Structure 1
Amino acid sequence: MAADDEASAADHVLRVALQHSQCVGGEVLEEEHGLERVRIDMNVEMPLDMKADGVSSSGVRTCEPVVLKLPASWPWQSPRFYLREDFPRHFPHLMPFSTPPRPCLIDGNQDEFFLQFGLVDYGVFHLVDQLAVWLRKAAINGLIDPDQGWEPMLRRGYRDIVELDAENARSLVDRKGGWAVWKSKYYRRGDASGRLGVDAEAWMSSDGERTPLKTSEGDDTFTASPMRGGIRMGSTVVAIIWPDKNPDGSAFVHSTYMPEDLETLGKLRARAEEIGCARGLNAFLSNLERSFDGFVLPAPIPVAIVLCARRPVHLIGTESNIELLPYVVDIRAEPERRSLFAQGDDEPVSPAAHYQSISAPLLRSLSGSPDQSPLVMLGCGSVGSKLALHAARSGQNILCVSDQSSLRPHNMARHALGPSHVTENKADALAKELEGFNLRPEVHKGDLGSDLRDPKIAEALLPKHAGAIINSTASLSVREALVDAATPRYRPRLFEAALFGSGRGAFLLADGPKHNPNHADLMAEMYATIGGTRAGKLLFDKDEGLEEIRIGQGCGSLTMKMSDARLSAMTASLAVEIDALLAAPATDGTIVMGTMGDDTPATRWVRYQVPAFETVTIAGTDGWELRISKRVADRIRAEAASYSAVETGGVMIGCTSARLKSVTVVDLLDAPPDSTRSATLFMLGTQGLHAAIEARHEASGRTLFDVGTWHSHLQDTGPSGTDWNTAAELAAERTPPSILLIATPKRFHALMHTKGQD
């Protein structure tokens, strides 16, 4: 379908259009304002009875002339299609205020649709095909599919905007009819004498707060700032008006599609009458006039009017049958006036586009996120701030934010907040940012490590109605304080997120049911299992871990060198993992590890399920507890079963917390070759033991230690006198704690000899 070199663009378009089976004729027209034009004649398929009349019941002819205008930027833009001047206007998918009528052929950008085909010929042909489909549906009134829903009035391209929560407005609508007034902010661009929608424009934004109509000294319902840069801002109102009931008491339903062609207050009154809102509109306008008695304003102020039309079926994409029809009109409270509307019913009215205000349902809809329980963010640094904003943008509520430090200039390298917040407390600054998402979190600026141990403060930091607590402080004291504060009955799930290895590694900890395993367990388990992996190299290698870098005159900070892009990529993935874990019931604890290559942004994520740790009270102590990884407990039982005729044992590897009074076991060392086993006694050998313990310590990044020994009993008997003597010997020989674990066929026993014991 290549055009001849001598042929005009219009000739080319006509020749391509005539290739379509429904295009039965046409001609190249004279240019208009320097633009080439083509008329094509489209055969319209319709039922035989309509075809015999030459026109369908909806007013579409069997042969419709359509004019194609080629834009000045052709072929970088698509042809514009125009129907005949007297084509019926009651159809959906007609561009508003277009003369002649212009059909909306594409659900989206028509130019992008046209350009995607590469060759002009294919682009033109497919647009003509879309036109044929549009006309065929129009002929049988099929442009609205009741099963799909009501097609809202096309409001594309309007300059005036009304921003409000649609569901909030729809919630006002009842069977009786009425009206309500909301506070609104506005900006109006253009000269005071300019006409809205033509040479002036307004943006109205309301959060749905009701207000009485009044104007008096000191009242701020209606205000107007001085003009700056051609823009005036201030306060005004939005009126929400819904239809009265029918005389028989039934709900008023309007089922006729209307073109959006309003231009005056008189036509707005007629539209309100048509959809059952006349009484409410007249009442609002009368009260508006009355409220301005004796009051003068120095400039025009835009007022928004939203008519609520009840449709016979739900609107496409919603569950509601209430269509919002927003309009904007200037009121002019001038001296010596007879009315706020100087031209009466000829006062210009501008149809407006509706923008959904920021709300959790809107954000969830656009992000595809489920309705999640609210969060608490402990730590508002680079990781915490980004996780908080990811959650806010997915429609999740944030109940509390906590951080005791302030934003400093170096934080701007990768913090979610901008330089305007430098010197502010991080939690304060993040809370201010979240206000833009209609979130009002509590702000805590104290030391979490100590405040979480205060029951009253902890109650505020860990609200019971939260869904999750996210700790991004990378602080051992905060981790342990959080573990200590979360009792088994506390229902919200705890998460810890951190980056390491200059941002090439990240981990996420999610505790298990009733907080077992807890975060201390999971950290120990992570240290025990990532040796030899890229994650282990990044976390444990002194050249890949945390570095001290200069951030100011003569000062240093323990932080990491990484770009904002790298940090953002890793925290975004952590946010996805948190969402996934919250969406499913917790059956185990979880460790999520992510590592990025040195020369590529490709990241590998691995998820480890960690069952509940077995817990054993340690005899001989003031309430200490031994916590044993299931992986280790299973290994102990398996080895004991394999030595069914003699006692066996080995060395336990793990970590200790005096604050939590816990010893956590996450690995074992086999008994040295010089160990002895008998039916009544196990003696741990020493050959190579010290070297093995030191090697395991180094392999864990110097995080895991020898925490005691274990041995088996062939019968279900507790610690013997010999065991207590062994415990005393262990305490004398080893750095505390030195736990002695006894594995019987049915249970574990643990003991520790402490100073002062006989």
Structure 2
Amino acid sequence: MGFLSRELPIAVKAAIDQILIHPSVNDVVTAASRDEHGNWAIEINMDVPLPRDARDKGITATGVKESEWVRIVFPTSFPAHAPWLFLRADFNRAHPHINPGRPGELVSPCIYEGRLGDLLHEPDWINGIINQLADWLGKAATGELLDCSGQGWEPIRRDSVDGTIVTNIAIIRERMANAKNPISQYLRYEYWQSIVGHSGRIIDENTSYTNIGEAVRKFRIGSNEQSPFRSYFSLAIVISGGTKKTIDVYQPDDVDSLEQLLLRAESYGCRLGLENRLKEITENIILPQIEQTLEVTVLFAVKRPCNLIGEGSDIEVIPYGIAFISDENRRPQSTRTSVFPLVLIQKVSQQLLAETSDRKFNESDRRKEVAMIGCGSLGSKIAAHLARAGHGPFRLYDKDCFSPHNVARHAVANSAAAEFMLPKVWLTETLITQVGAQITPIKNPLEDVISLLQNKPDLFAKCNGLIIDATASSSVQDALCRVRPKHFGAPLLQVALYGRGTIGFFGLEGKDRNPRVDDLVAQLYQIGLDSSPIGAALYQATSFDRIHTGQGCASFSMKMSDAKISLFSAGISERASQLLDNSIPNAGELLVGLLTEDGLGVNWLHQPKTKIEILYIGDKSKWEVRIPVALRDRMRMETEQCRPLETGGILIGHINWGSRTIYVTGLLPPPTDSEFRTDEFVLGIQGLKKQISSIERITSHTLSYLGTWHSHPNGGGASGKDRNTLAELTRERGNVPSVCLIYRPEGLLAVTGPVTNP
């Protein structure tokens, strides 16, 4: 396992310092400690505002206490990965928005509709996670975790599942919506177990049978097709109490027997229908063999009081599997059954698909290696474009699997691959090798790139063409930015789409990784502030910009047509092809693409690029300040214009708490009540607060006030007044780092001293 440091990592300490001053935290139960795996944990108590009728007892009827114990575990990869949150083991698991787990284990609340790692990379950093947890506990106390007026109904929680079923949920819901009275129908169902142990299930939702006799005549139930996947045919039962009966009680899944399944059917108002169908199966089906297992699927279609989270339907489809065993007469026995929960996965459908595009490329023999990080919708298209253009060989990295909704936009439009949930790397590799591209064999292509880089920083040292990051992941970006220039054999190119495919980002690093991709992203944030069309796409995203693709809080994808992605990927690929064919500019490159109003094309705008000057601030725990040389030159110009008087202004930019990096993106002019003297610059305040608030509002706090700068036109170091100014800023801003810069003819200087006041 190797040596584990006993010292609290800087990032963990910074996070704990912020947690302990959070207004909802009232006590530290256990100080930070490290487990045998190197993870650090802290145990705290959090105040929970209880309803009036529960305050005297200090606990609600649903078991939420006025002070709740919380365990926060920081993985060894923190802050690349988010911490894990746990509540006490006896916390009421009947609440919605709780992650799967077993009885007796600590309870893991689902506090955020998405990935906590992405929330960690928001401007509030760890405070964003604690804020969400406090909000979750408050809503649990008041019974408001299910918000039908806003978020929607939480799908049933499964603490464990035994597999997935691929089907078109929309068709099943449509049948339910058209039937006011209770219904029970048979559908054709196919399941298999391959010789390598992989299992799968498919429901043919387009073929329904009103009675079992019709189904038995159509195909031989329980037959084995003798294929490599040993496919069996069986029945799926769609059963419902009808749309007249609304089930408004949230029940986590606890079904593990046939009797419990019947009790659950009773709560849904359809027990009699299920009992009749199960009786028909045991009386009318004869299997090919004695002691043969037959798997039958039950789909409860339940009407809820409001639409499910992220979906346009109030009908929840809840699947279970029943395994029957045949007796000496080869009939399935209801006394020998096992019941297990399943998960529905959306099948490829008309609603999920979009048009694809075709593009002709000139073929040539190019041997520069391309590393593609992310083989999703955008990355697969870029890889396909470059492969068809004759580029390669390729290295492919992606840890995710192919889901049915990917068919709508992925370069691999293969419904069978979606149903088998194959890795995207395999599919993209198959796609580009079919057009003649070569693949560089690599170890662990399905492993998280963040983990790969932690174990092997020179992962891309032998790549001599381009390293392309198409993951749209802040965590991956941070991991790549920690790599030293000598460990990159080629420049890093980051590409992404925003605003439902209306804005495209193309950021190419400069020589010696200056500027880096994170500098270019920070510049994009500033461009969004200065440009309304770009800012609207960057900063005004809503839940309507996403589409849910399965069951669970994190099962969503950005709404974006294949046509739009194809427009952007074509331009990105064309420029990447030019870079591979020609010399790569030492200064790097930043392009922002805007979709035309008629949707017929993309206008790519070249943005000014600049090298980055790096300073370090803080005393014990250092922060890195990255400021464009263009902004430093602007300070120089303003200093010369104001000479012999001192001048100054406001620094705005972005803070990355995880990497302890501050990006200066812009300068604000001094307020009109500022004072300019030969020995001092006094920053005014008139209109300043309003101006900063406007910036934070427009950019959703992505950009904010960082600190100040002023000039020493005759040179010299920081004065006592300068250090006092930094100290005053630090007191006012608390744990938010403050920056005080001085421009001198000999260069920029950061005022030394503590920059945070936790």
Instruction: State the structure with bigger RCO (CA 8 A, min sep 6), 1 or 2.
Output: 2
Give the structure with higher Rg (CA). 1
